[in-house]
Each structure stands twice: as structure tokens, then as C-alpha cells.
Amino acid sequence: MNKKKKKRISSRKSGSILVLVLLVVLISFIIGTGLLALGTQSRVTSINQVQDMMSRSAADAGIERAVQEINNAVMAGKWSASTTPYVSNAALPFSDSIYSVKTAYDATGGYRIVSVGSDRNRTRTINATLRLKGLFENAIQCRDSITLKSGTVVDTIDSTISMDPADCDEKAVIGTSSIEDDRIILNNGVVVDGDVVVGVGGDTSTVIKDLGATIDRSYSLSSAVEFPTVSPPSLFGPDTEIAIKNGEKTIGPGGDYPATGRFSEIGMKNGTTLRVIGDCTLYVTGDIGMGQNSEIILDASKNAKLTIYLDGDWASDNDSGINNETSIPSTFKLYGTGPLGQAIDIKAKGEFYGVIYAPDADLTVFSGGDIYGSFVTNNFELKNPAKFLYDASLKTISVYDEGVRFVINRWNER
């Protein structure tokens, strides 16, 4: 092969290699550009997602702030229809996010809140409506345990309509906040015309010990139950004992004891009576003791109402009891304001009409007839079979009732 031919072959090889190198460079450039674009897009997407989360957090903060301001006014006794929180461009702490809140209220529709959260170029808007929630939304609500004896029936009535369960369509609810085993014991023959609920994430098959009960449904709660703190009112003395050693004493306007006051304790000897006349509110810093066959009577002819805030324990001997002649559960209210482990032992010679809110107390009840009302306690045991009839009218409340607060009823995001 001559030199000219070899040179031409060598030139063609060099040209092919150059084209291949250029092709490789071009492909690498295209791939690199694509990866760079993909990486940039991923970073942009991540940034947008973070900004979405932050704007949502800001909008949530606006809702929480508005609800808290409203409830602060309720607890302070300063709430009015003009309590409509407004915030403009408030900063979310430790972030670049801001939120603005507008609130409207009317007697028919209640509260409507619009909260707009922003983080740089991302915005989220939450619309929420509120409802007023009271202390007695369920028939029986406990932090820990409920024990119902065989033959107990849990149902509902509406005392503003009638005392007949057939006239009330609402279902009863009993429940615990606990998720521990055997926190609700339903003995054979117990009937709950409604639902039995357990704490968030609880297993109903282990939390509820069903020994042959009939219920509608059982399920775990989606959010934790709140137990608002109820504090005794600021009442003046006399800081003495209500002591009934024989016969009958009256409490109320013109009675043996004043209608309103702070007392060291209530002590009733065997066979004695305390008759409530008018609207009475007592703060008892010590214990209440009812001797055998003693009785507290709410006199219907005197429009009696009795509200007791109790720091100590309540002990009832055999055949003692509370006789609420008004037959309206809301006319007798007991608030347990003592420490965890407070013991409340309530008896009734016949039907019991009343509500008890004592989330730190252990409550035992023995009734000679049906029970009308609602109980909120730490532990509850019904010592005898009875009909427990939740009064649905207890859900009709105002901002001036004890322990009420506004909670989110419905919400949507956009």
C-alpha cells in the first residue's frame, strides 16, 4: 500500500473518531441539561410543597387564635355578639409566613371564620363554622372506667318534650377516654340504645368487656375528649357547717341557710331533711355526709334549683337520697372540684334527676328508680340495674353556662 492511500485511511479514521466524540459530548450535554432541569423542577416542587405546608400552618394558626380569643371572652364572662376577632398580616413565629383572620357572628348561623395563610407566593384559605359545646354531650363520659350492672338500660329523653324515650330520636352515647383493657364493663342483659366509644386509637374488642350486652355500635374516637376545668365561684362565707341534727331545715331565700354561700361541710344525721327552696348555689370546701334515711328535697312548689361545687367527698348511708321533685335534670347540678380520687357516693330513694360533672372523681350511684340526666367522671359504677335516660335538652346551652366553649363544627380548605 502506498503512502497516499495510508494517509487517506488515517484521515477517515480521525474524522470518524471526531464525529463520535462530538456525538458523545452532545448526548452528555442533553442528558446533563435534562437532569439539571429535573433537579431544578424537583427543588421548585419541594419549595412549593414546603410553602404550601407553611401557608396551611399559618391559616390553622389564625383559626386557633380566633377560637381562643372567643373562648377567653366566654370564660371571662365578657362575651357578646360583637366578639369577632380580626387580624391582619400577623406573623407566624419562627417563619416567614403570615395570616389574616376575619370573623362574623349572627344569632342564627353562629360563628363563621375565614383565615388566610401565606408563605411567599403560596396561599391557603380555611373557612370554619363554630358551635357551642357544653359539659353534658353524652349520657356517661368517663376518663377511665364504666361498670353497668345486668339489666341496665341506657336510652334518651328530651325533658322539654316528654319523659318518654319514644318521643326522642337521639341516640345515647357512653364512653371512656382510656384505651386500656376492660375499661367499660357491660354485664349480661345491659342494653345501650346508642353507641359505646373508647379512646383515640383504642381497640373496642379489648377496651370493652361485653358479657352479653346489646348496643348499636362501638368505635374509637377520632379526637381526644376535653374535660374543661370547672372552678368554684367566688362566694362569700359564712364558712360554717350546714348541720342538721334532727327534723328539717331549709336552704334558700328566707330559709334557715342562705341561698348562696361558701360552707365548710354539710352533715345530716339519720332521718333528717334539707329542703331546697328557690335557686341555691353552694360551694362546699369539705365533705357532704348523709345519714341513714336522710333526704335532700328540691321543692317543686318553691321552684327549687340546687347547684353544688364540692371540694371534698360525698358519702351517703343506706336509704338516704336526693329527691328532686321538679323532675327536671338540669335543676340539680353537682360539680366535683376536688383532687383526683375524689369519692362521690350518691343515692336516691326513687328516681334521680340531675347532672354530675366530676372528671377527677370516682362516682358510685344507687337509685331506687330510673336515672335522668348525665354523668361525667373519672370512674363510674352503677350499683343496681336501672334505666339511665340521658336528657337531650342538656345540649341546649348558652355562653353563660358552666364550662361551655366554642369548638369547630365544620371547615373546608382551598
Residue 141, pLDDT score: 98
pLDDT, average across residues 296-303: 97
Residue 29, pLDDT score: 66
252 pLDDT exceeds 80? yes
Residue 6, pLDDT score: 54
Residue 33, pLDDT score: 64
Distances (CA, A) of 211 to 144, 150, 197: 19, 9, 16
Can you read off the three cell numbers belonging to residue 86? 380580626
**397: three-class secondary structure by DSSP:** coil
Residue 43, pLDDT score: 60
5 pLDDT exceeds 70? no
**102: three-class secondary structure by DSSP:** strand
Can you read off the three cell numbers belonging to residue 352? 334521680
Give 367's pLDDT tier (boundaries 50, 70, 90): confident
Which segments within 108-264 are labelled E, that is strand?
110-119, 122-133, 140-142, 146-148, 153-157, 172-176, 184-186, 191-198, 208-210, 214-220, 241-244, 248-251, 260-263
Residue 110, pLDDT score: 93
48 pLDDT exceeds 90? no
Distances (CA, A) of 413 to 57, 59, 60, 110, 147: 12, 9, 10, 19, 42
Q: What is the pLDDT of residues 141-177, one digit of tens each?
A: 999 999 999 999 999 999 999 999 999 999 999 999 9
Q: Which positions ≥6 away from 69 have C-beta within 8 Å?
A: 83, 85
- Of the listed ranges 18-32, 90-104, 349-363, the least confidently predicted one is 18-32
Residue 41, pLDDT score: 61
Residue 89, pLDDT score: 94
Residue 46, pLDDT score: 64
310 pLDDT exceeds 70? yes
Arithmetic mean of pLDDT over the chain: 91
